[in-house]
Amino acid sequence: MLKYKDIDKKNKKILDALQDNSRMSYSELAKNVGLVRETAYYRVLSLEKKGIIRKYVSFIDISKLGLSIYCVFLNLSTSSVDARKKIIERIRSDPNVTWAASVGSYYDLVFAIQATDARHFKTIYAELCEGFKGYIHEERFSQRVRLEANPIDNNPQKKTLTIYSGIENRTEIDDLDKGILKRIMEDSRISVLRLSDLLKRPGSTIKTRLKRLERLGIIQGYGILLDYERLGVQVYQLLITTTSLNKEESRMLQSYCRSIENIPFYAETIAPWSFEITVLVEDNAHLQSILNDLKEKLGTRLRAIEVIPTFDYYIKYQSLGKAV
């Protein structure tokens, strides 16, 4: 289990509980971690002020809205700090970009775009990089087939969330649903009363719609974004290339990623590689241990593991883009 730097056991329990369900009330949180309500409230407030809790988010399965996830890996040809800042800001400000990170090794930036199909993605991407395409040395793309979020404390009683199922089963939603989704994505702890005020609809209607969105699997769950650097944790992206795996072998890898500690995200992809896995580690020895485990599990099926250090995992994060 990760030993978050300078975090006591009670705060660790608070973070674990909020990662599992960030919409729980302070009374529920206090009961969950063994504190009185007021103490739980002030501890959460302190974690927010320190920047450890960066954001409260909702996990939305956009495949149920008829959308796909495309990731872009960029190697930039410029070493100019100002030029890179402008490129990052351009990417961050684009409403179609829903996630972005600054990375190391061969790539400089990774970001995700939501689109209805490959043609739509191509159009969005061409418009996005129009102002800085001269700085792109190399670009690589992946399309997510499946994306899961795992509880990083390896608690088997906690549910693995399928953030993106990749199953084409479009569910029609109206403007009220969209309004709820966008606001609850900005802050998963937003109250029903506040949603009612913002959307000018009765609280009972908001509650009913929220339950429906959860029941349909559009809202998969609620969590938090942490500042891993402040917690003394290193983040790496592993791009894993394998030979074609049969269903049993794919399930084995999926189950392994669910069972191992500190793998918050697991994705199956259509790309030059087969899988993208996010790992949280305390040091190089911890990383090497995970790499050795993956090599042993995959055996001769493994072709390569590309290790990408991530310096700012959440330059931008929002589950819903312009297409919704």
Which amino acid makes up residue 34?
Answer: G
For every residue of 104-173, DSSP letters joined together read -TT-SEEEEEEESSHHHHHHHHHHHGGGTGGGEEEEEEEEEEEEEE--TT--TTSPPEEEE---------
Please give the torsion angle defined by the CA atoms of residues 17, 18, 23 and 25, in that order, rounded to the nearest 10 degrees: 60
* pLDDT for residue 1 is more than 80: no
- pLDDT band at 32; cut points 50, 70, 90: very high
With CA atoms as reference, report the closest residue to 235 among 186, 286, 161: 286
Q: What is the pLDDT of residue 152?
A: 65
* pLDDT for residue 185 is more than 60: yes
pLDDT tens string 259-279 = 877 888 999 999 999 999 999
How many residues in the chain?
A: 324
Q: Which residues contact 181 (CB under 8 A, 6 or more apart)?
A: 58, 60, 173, 213, 218, 219, 320, 324
Which amino acid makes up residue 274?
Answer: S
Instruction: Write the class of the CATH domain 1-50.
Output: mainly alpha
* pLDDT for residue 2 is more than 60: yes
What global pTM score does this model have? Answer: 0.89
Query: Strand, coil or helix: what is 4?
Result: coil
**146-165+230-310 — its CATH code?**
3.30.70.920
**Start-to-end Cα distance in the chain:** 37
pLDDT tens string 54-101 = 999 999 999 999 999 999 999 999 889 999 999 999 999 999 999 999
CA distance 194 to 208: 15
Percent of the chain with pLDDT strictly greater than 70: 96
Contact 261, 154 (CB under 8 A): yes
- pLDDT band at 239; cut points 50, 70, 90: very high
Q: Please report, for the chain, the start and end positions of each structural domain, with discontinuous segments joined by +.
A: 1-50, 146-165+230-310
Largest separation between any pair of C-alpha atoms in the chain: 59
Query: Strand, coil or helix: what is 183?
Result: helix
